Amino acid sequence: MTRISAEIGKSPKKHQHIEYSQRSLFSPICFYSPKLPIFILVTCVTLFILLNIRFSLQTPPSFPTFSLPWTLMSQWQNAIFNSTITSTNYANELNSAYLYKLHQSVTFLPLKDLRYAHAALNGHTWFMSSMYDTHQEGDVHFQQFPSQSSQGRLLCLKGKDTHDGSWNSYALAWPEALPHNATFMKGLTFVSYNHYNYENLWHGLSAMVPFVAWHKNNNCSLPTRWVLYHWGELRFKMGLWVKTMMEATFGGPLNIEGFDEIDENMPACFEKAVVMRHNEGGMSRERRMEVYDLLRCNARIYCNVSLKDRSNEIGMTLFMRTGPRSFKNETIVTEIFYKECAKVEGCRLMVAHSNNLSFCEQVKLMSTTDILISPHGAQLTNLFLMDRNSSVMEFFPKGWLKLAGVGQYVFHWIASWSGMKHQGAWRDPNGDHCPYSEDDRRCMSTYKSATIGHNQTQFSQWASKVLAEVKARKMEQASIKGTTTRPIDCSCA
Ligand SMILES: *[C@@H]1O[C@H](CO)[C@@H](O)[C@H](O)[C@H]1NC(C)=O
Ligand SMILES: *[C@@H]1O[C@H](CO)[C@@H](O)[C@H](O)[C@H]1NC(C)=O
Ligand SMILES: *[C@@H]1O[C@H](CO)[C@@H](O)[C@H](O)[C@H]1NC(C)=O
Ligand SMILES: *[C@@H]1O[C@H](CO)[C@@H](O)[C@H](O)[C@H]1NC(C)=O
Ligand SMILES: *[C@@H]1O[C@H](CO)[C@@H](O)[C@H](O)[C@H]1NC(C)=O
Ligand SMILES: *[C@@H]1O[C@H](CO)[C@@H](O)[C@H](O)[C@H]1NC(C)=O
Ligand SMILES: *[C@@H]1O[C@H](CO)[C@@H](O)[C@H](O)[C@H]1NC(C)=O
Ligand SMILES: *[C@@H]1O[C@H](CO)[C@@H](O)[C@H](O)[C@H]1NC(C)=O
Q: Is the distance from the beta carbon of residue 421 to the nearest atom of ligand 6 less than 6 Å?
A: no
Query: Is the model's pLDDT at 243 over the cut of 90?
Result: yes
Residue 33: left (phi > 0), alpha (psi -120 to 50), or beta?
beta
Q: Does 176 fall in a domain? A: yes
- 300-320 pLDDT, tens digit each: 999 999 888 888 899 999 999
Q: Which residue CA neighbors atom 13 of ligand 2 most closely?
A: 180
Instruction: Show Cβ contacts of residue 432 under 8 Å, excluding neighbours closer than 6 positions.
Output: 398, 446, 447, 450
Q: State how many domains the chain has.
A: 3
Together in a domain, 313 and 439: yes
Together in a domain, 165 and 240: yes
Quick one: which atom of ligand 4 is closest to the CA of 304?
A: 1
Higher confidence at residue 330 or residue 125?
Answer: 330
- 185-231 pLDDT, tens digit each: 999 999 999 999 999 999 999 999 999 999 999 999 999 999 999 99
Spacing, Cα 149 to ligand 7 middle (Å): 40
B/e letters for 292-311, b = 16+ CB within 10 Å, e = fewer, are bbbbbbbbbebbebeeeebb
Together in a domain, 305 and 276: no
Q: Which residue CA neighbors atom 3 of ligand 4 most closely?
A: 304
Together in a domain, 345 and 470: yes
Higher confidence at residue 114 or residue 363?
Answer: 363
Q: Tell me which ligand sits closest to the C-alpha of residue 334.
A: 5
Spacing, Cα 266 to ligand 2 middle (Å): 8
Q: Considering only 283-292, 363-372, 393-402, 416-425, which range has the smallest mean pLDDT?
A: 393-402
Q: Which residue CA neighbors atom 9 of ligand 1 most closely?
A: 82
Together in a domain, 43 and 160: no
Which residue among 283, 312, 337 closes a domain?
283
Quick one: which atom of ligand 7 is closest to the CA of 473?
A: 5
Q: Does 493 fall in a domain? A: no
Together in a domain, 147 and 64: no
Q: Which residue CA neighbors atom 12 of ligand 8 most closely?
A: 455
Q: Tell me which ligand sits closest to the C-alpha of residue 329.
A: 5
Please list the residues that pair with 226 across neighbouring strands: 190, 256
The dihedrals phi and psi of 229, each to the nearest 5 degrees, come to -125, 145
Spacing, Cα 366 to ligand 7 middle (Å): 18
Strand order in the sheet with 314-320: 347-353, 314-320, 371-375, 391-396, 421-427
Spacing, Cα 6 to ligand 1 middle (Å): 25
Together in a domain, 223 and 135: yes
B/e letters for 58-81, b = 16+ CB within 10 Å, e = fewer, are ebeeeeeebebbeebeeebeebee
The mean pLDDT value of the chain amounts to: 83
Give the range of the structural domain holding residue 394, as residue numbers without chain letter: 288-479
Together in a domain, 170 and 48: no
Q: Tell me which ligand sits closest to the C-alpha of residue 363.
A: 4
Query: Is the model's pLDDT at 368 over the cut of 90?
Result: yes
Higher confidence at residue 334 or residue 6?
Answer: 334
- 387-438 pLDDT, tens digit each: 999 999 999 998 777 777 778 899 999 999 999 999 999 999 988 777 777 7
Together in a domain, 348 and 203: no
* Ligand 8: lining residues by beta carbon, under 6 Å: 429, 455, 457-458
Query: Is the model's pLDDT at 250 over the cut of 80?
Result: yes
Together in a domain, 271 and 211: yes
Quick one: which atom of ligand 2 is closest to the CA of 263?
A: 5
Q: Considering only 11-25, 28-42, 92-106, 156-170, which range has the smallest mean pLDDT?
A: 11-25
Q: Which residue CA neighbors atom 6 of ligand 7 most closely?
A: 389
Spacing, Cα 76 to ligand 1 middle (Å): 12
Together in a domain, 97 and 114: no
Mean pLDDT value across residues 104-124 = 84
- Residue 366 has a pLDDT of 97
Q: Is the distance from the beta carbon of residue 104 to the nearest atom of ligand 2 less than 6 Å?
A: no
Q: Does 486 fall in a domain? A: no
Q: Is the distance from the beta carbon of residue 88 to the nearest atom of ligand 2 less than 6 Å?
A: no
Instruction: Say how far apart CA 146 and CA 373 lie, in whole Å.
Output: 46
Q: Tell me which ligand sits closest to the C-alpha of residue 75.
A: 1
Residue whose C-alpha is closest to residue 157's, from 111, 193, 201:
111
To test ligand 6's pocket by mutation, which of 356, 358, 361, 362 has the most ligand atoms within 8 angstroms of CB? 356
- 342-357 pLDDT, tens digit each: 999 999 999 999 999 9
Spacing, Cα 221 to ligand 3 middle (Å): 9
Together in a domain, 331 and 433: yes
